Amino acid sequence: MTRTGSRSPGLLPFGLLLAPLLSACAQEGDFGRPAPSAWNRLIETTGTLAARERGAPVSVYPLTDDEVILRDRAWRFLMPADSRAAFEDALANLTRARVLPPRWRRADIPAYHGDLISESFRSPYSRYRKLSDDAVADGRLIPPFAVVAGRVFEADAVRLRALPFSKSLDDWDVRQAAMRVAENRCLVAWTRLETSLRIVRYRYALEHFLIEMPGREATPAEQAVAFLEERRALLDPLLPPDAAARCGLVEPPPQAVLAAPVVAKPVVAKY
């Protein structure tokens, strides 16, 4: 583990050029998550370098088991809900790996509906059923994600409380601890943001289905989206409402005075 904060002038540009090619070849593991391969490890490493270059919170500390699980469970929500072209999937993967900043992505609300309606299908029932299945699957994944996030935040609080009593630590150690805490919280903020956007996309698709092909299948689809909305509320107590803006995931409201940073002081847990 190195303590140097210096940049490598040649490594980052080379990695940014190489990463899209690697992402296109990225191997998928269980549940659509990246397989533990050399390709995917290089993407993750490049993402860490790029995030650090942008000033995003990046810690070199090793991930705890719960932090690994949190990142695995966030995967579904940080990737597109609609099936897009391979190039757009590669860009989404690079965003998830932090090679690209999250705010480059447009909140393309009609994309999910356009994807469903553009596919060939024999009956409108299959479109409503696909929407219902997607919303229910998302909703079922939120409670375990919230539980893991709670455990990670509890461990972060222990980490921050221990800092004042650890006499052998220096400023580098304190900064790495603070960056990991911010990193964890911003990941949860990003997942919460993307989950909210999914609900909007699902509702957009449902509203258009009702006009394009009205039918009784709309009722279970509406219930599925309501189920996801109910489960999404489990993420609200984890972080303040303005966490996405404080993490740089969205533009802050005009002339808004944001609260303290995600980690105001390394020795005080704000969450």
The structure tokens 């972080």 sit at: 239
Q: pLDDT of 74-98, one tens digit each?
A: 888 877 665 554 445 555 555 555 5
* % the chain with pLDDT above 90: 32
Q: pLDDT: is 66 or 167 the higher one?
A: 66
Residues 81/198, Cβ–Cβ less than 8 Å: yes
Residues 155/268, Cβ–Cβ less than 8 Å: no
* Whether residue 42 has pLDDT greater than 80: no
pLDDT of amino acid 167: 82
Q: pLDDT of 231-248, one tens digit each?
A: 999 999 999 998 888 877
How far apart (Å, rounded) are the C-alpha atoms in residues 149 and 136?
20
Q: Indicate the average pLDDT of the chain.
A: 74
- For residue 28, the SS3 value is strand
* Whether residue 140 has pLDDT greater than 80: yes
